[in-house]
Amino acid sequence: MTDARTNQRINGRRLWDSLMEMAAIGATPKGGVRRLALGPVDKLGRDRFAALCAEAGLTMRVDSMGNMFARRPGRDPARLPVLMGSHLDSQPSGGKFDGALGVMAGLEVMRSLRDLGITTEAPVELVNWTDEEGSRFGKSLMGSGVWSGVYGQAETEALADLDGQTVGASLDAIGYRGPEPARPFPADAYFELHIEQGPVLEAEGKQIGIVTGGQAQVWYDAVAIGQDSHAGTTPPEARKDALVCAARVIDLVDRMMRARGELGRGTVGQLVVVPNSRNVVPGEVRFSVEFRHPDAAEIERLAVQFPREAGFIARDCGIELHLTELFRIGAQPFDPACVDLVRQAAARLGYSAREIVSGAGHDAIYVAQHVPAAMIFTPCKDGLSHNEAESIEPSEAEAGAQVLFEAVVARANRPL
């Protein structure tokens, strides 16, 4: 049984063709994709995905958040399903593979099971999670977040995009509000294949990342309040320049990150200057702050040190600084048995591999709160993602999908 599995190959060519077919839906002139969650292009992608699942003999369920579950029955109806999947939505100028690789590789696993005449003991389900990216409604990991109980359905449905259209209205508009409640159902395992979105695997020439878990994170909204005044007449002593204060806090974020060495992550990615006029000393600046680290204890320390030191800076600047902690999550380790199936699959197939902690958020990290989970990473060119130039090789996609296939089949056939 174990030996035979290595001779069962997925169809890498068919996988690549499916990836390119999905990439054509919402294709951008620079070679990326734009499939904003729950918009008309996302609907096209979902409809195509549903049709491909039907062709592969799968039965589709949709839950109240628009999460899609395509099921292949197992031999033993009493067994819990083994889940695999990712997301089909993209950033506004996103790449072809972020999310789509995990979903289309899952489809390829299903097609290969059919072609190879394999009936697994447990059912297998392929998931397309709604709105992983969070770029339209401002909440990432939305579908898996509601499913796992991190976010409430009602509060999430009320979120609106910049045009005022809510999540709830968008679900109805594209016809993807399903009858099932979005909440955890019993499942045996969840596997997610994803591009690394970072440079480590490529730099080390590794084909497979064995993801052991996600990083701890803390996110803030910051508002610095000073006073608008005339740029030409306000002398240094009289200035209450909110942007100078923000700049010093941004430097603090960078210093606190660098003090933690190679594993440190600290970012200010959003900045709004009010009134944003070249001859007004800025009276208000709103900005985002986030820190990540694989060690939850470092995040706990940062959550104490950062507000304190930022407060000292603001006081020196004569500025009011309001920090709102948006959320703090501990490091989410993946299930050791599921991680081991990924490790064994990579070894059996002869792929070079290394263990890695996920730097980005992924649906698997929320799913892992309820279901034993693991992830597989594949390299991406120059570590580039959330960019239209995001690029992978067909052989890399095939290797990742083959590891996914092996891990899912091993789990679905495991002795109970």
Which residues are at the interface with Zn ion (CB under 5 A)? 98-99
Rounded CA-CA distance 18/86 in Å is: 15
For the CA atoms of the chain, what is the radius of gyration? 23
Please, what is the minimum distance in Å from the beta carbon of residue 89 to Zn ion? 9
| CB closer to Zn ion out of 99 and 106 | 99
| CB closer to Zn ion out of 98 and 196 | 98
Please, what is the minimum distance in Å from the beta carbon of residue 126 to Zn ion? 16
Q: Are 375 and 334 in contact (CB under 8 A)?
A: yes
| Listed residue (317, 332, 260, 321) closest to 289, CA to CA | 321
| CB closer to Zn ion out of 43 and 96 | 96
Please, what is the minimum distance in Å from the beta carbon of residue 145 to Zn ion? 14
Rounded CA-CA distance 173/230 in Å is: 48
| CB closer to Zn ion out of 390 and 406 | 390
| CB closer to Zn ion out of 97 and 405 | 97
Rounded CA-CA distance 361/368 in Å is: 12
| CB closer to Zn ion out of 99 and 372 | 99
Please, what is the minimum distance in Å from the beta carbon of residue 133 to Zn ion? 7
Rounded CA-CA distance 327/302 in Å is: 13
Please, what is the minimum distance in Å from the beta carbon of residue 194 to Zn ion? 6
Please, what is the minimum distance in Å from the beta carbon of residue 279 to Zn ion? 42
- Give helix 12-23 / helix 40-55 axis angle, nearest 10°: 150
Please, what is the minimum distance in Å from the beta carbon of residue 72 to Zn ion? 24
Please, what is the minimum distance in Å from the beta carbon of residue 179 to Zn ion? 27
Rounded CA-CA distance 413/150 in Å is: 31
Q: Which residue is nearest to Zn ion (CB)?
A: 99
| CB closer to Zn ion out of 91 and 207 | 91
| CB closer to Zn ion out of 98 and 131 | 98
Please, what is the minimum distance in Å from the beta carbon of residue 87 to Zn ion? 6
Residue written as token pair 């939850």:
296
What are the backbone dihedrals phi and psi of residue 27, each rounded to the nearest 5 degrees, phi first? -60, 140
Alpha helices for 35-83 (secondary structure H): 40-55
Distance of CA 82 to the CA centre of its chain: 20
Q: Are 230 and 283 in contact (CB under 8 A)?
A: no
| CB closer to Zn ion out of 98 and 108 | 98
Query: What are the strands, taking DSSP E only, across 24-148?
Result: 59-62, 68-72, 82-87, 124-129
DSSP string of 143-194, one letter each residue: HHHHHTTSS-HHHHHT-B-TTS-BHHHHHHHHT---SB-SS----SEEEEEE
